[in-house]
Amino acid sequence: MRNDAPAESTDHAPPSDAICDEEIVEAVIEGDRPWKRGTAGAALRYPAYRRVFFGWLSSNIGSWMQNVVLGAWALSISRDAAHPDGSPAFVSIVLFAQLGPLLLFSLLGGTLADRFDRKTLIAGACVEQAMAAFALAWVATQPQPSHLAVVLCVFAVGMGQALIGPTFSSVLPTLVDKEDLPGAVSLTSVNMNGSRVLGSALGGVVWVLLGPATVFAVNAVTYFFIIAAVATVRIPNAVRHPGGPSGLRQMLAGFGVARRDRVVGRVLVTCATFSFFCLIWIGQMAVLASHNLGISEKSTAYSWLYSVFGLGALLGATAVGTIYAGRDLSRLVKLHLAGFTVLSALLATLRSAAPAYPTIFVLGFFYFVVITGLSTLLQAQLDESTRGRVMALWIMAFGGTVPVGNLFFGPIIQATNITTVLLIGVVVAAGLTWWADYRPAPADAAGAGDFELAPSPS
């Protein structure tokens, strides 16, 4: 390797018996090629990060296979005499069961990530999610699946995700040096959206050919890829400061960081507002497709719509760690929020399938440049002692408010139409574009990331 390549510190080193294999992989894949610090390529040069990345990717493909089918299947089993086109309200309930735990349990997950063995937490949560996904597969084999059983199984999967999410968000930055953190954060979004593309395409095909139960069972199996990946790497636990707060004060420590640091606070407020008002159409994509675009939710055309959106999001996430590497992230987020606003307005007006595909592709690109940029700004500000709890707030803002928004707007869609809700999101996105400014205050710039937990009063 050249001297300008990122050094692999012992904190990220693989077990001794795997060093030769890892060196061979690096020699074949990378050769003597230098990588710019902070890029996705630099992050992938860390063997521990690479293993976890690909294990997580494999599992995420299964998750997106389930996700793309779940909303469409919920719409199809909710059709009855009262709702011949299906019930958007029931779809919103299923989505809340899936993502609502991110809002309800992420603070607990973040606290666990900062206090207990992270490898054990990840493995335990994955086993719980696998069992819940197998149960959902069994429910799907019934002639008339119980709506209550569907919601309970999906909620159980979501609860495991709420516990594992902050832990994973805390682990990934520890597997690379700080200089390469932007590339690692970008790859995290690439992972999510690359798996969204593959999982959405595969999920739609498997559903049409083999039924929803097979999709859910495949997802259950893929959780064991994460367990296998984390079992082979050293995962550092959080550094705890003696004399810090305990109990509820410790769980809420992330709010204190958000209150003190302008960047952290603004990033979280932006993400929560954006997710609540502007992303309703993602959870209701089956409704958007069938009601506005004339696309049946049980068709490959629908799964391709989801995949095209995921492909745009994948390229947006990749761009932050490649062509946008080193750019002013605050300005980047503002510009792409503006682009998201324009494309959302266009999507609201469409009434045919053909123009929807390129529109939703570009919309996905703008969407994930915004999300990846905000996530990178946030991660760069955090201290290891509170990273898990602040990232729990990020997961609540990014994933937890989406189902609350769907739960709120689902009945409105059912009473009016999805176009009305899309236009509300356009107005809010325009307001966020005007408000977006993530430059640190002078005090934050002087001590970014250096947050100590104040000792509890005696």
Instruction: Work out whether the CA dihedral 431, 434, 439, 440 comes out positive or negative.
Output: negative
Tell me the backbone φ, ψ of residue 414, rounded to 5 degrees: -65, -35
Give the predicted TM-score (pTM) of the model: 0.69
Query: 404 burial class (0-12, 13-18, 19+ CB within 10 angstroms)?
Result: buried
Tell me what percent of the residues of the chain surpass a pLDDT of 90. Answer: 33
What is the rounded (10 degree) CA torsion for 148, 151, 155, 158? 170
Of 363, 53, 379, 8, the C-alpha closest to 195 is: 53
- Would you state the pLDDT for residue 242? 52
pLDDT > 60? residue 454: no
The domain total for the chain is 1
The answer as to whether 14 is a domain residue is: no
User: pLDDT per residue over 268-301, tens digit each?
Assistant: 999 999 999 999 998 888 889 989 999 988 788 8
Q: How many residues does the chain have?
A: 458
Give the amino acid at 274. Answer: F
The answer as to whether 278 is a domain residue is: yes
Lowest mean pLDDT among 68-72, 174-178, 312-316: 174-178
Instruction: Dig out the tokens for 411 from the structure.
Output: 């009945």
The answer as to whether 22 is a domain residue is: no
The answer as to whether 12 is a domain residue is: no
Give the amino acid at 38. Answer: G
Contact 2, 144 (CB under 8 A): no
CATH of the domain at 375: 1.20.1250.20
pLDDT > 90? residue 216: yes
Average pLDDT, the chain: 81
User: Domain range spanning residue 371?
Assistant: 38-234+250-443
- Would you state the pLDDT for residue 141? 95
The answer as to whether 388 is a domain residue is: yes
- Would you state the pLDDT for residue 392? 76
The answer as to whether 449 is a domain residue is: no
The answer as to whether 452 is a domain residue is: no
Lowest mean pLDDT among 56-65, 281-290, 394-403, 424-433: 394-403
The answer as to whether 10 is a domain residue is: no
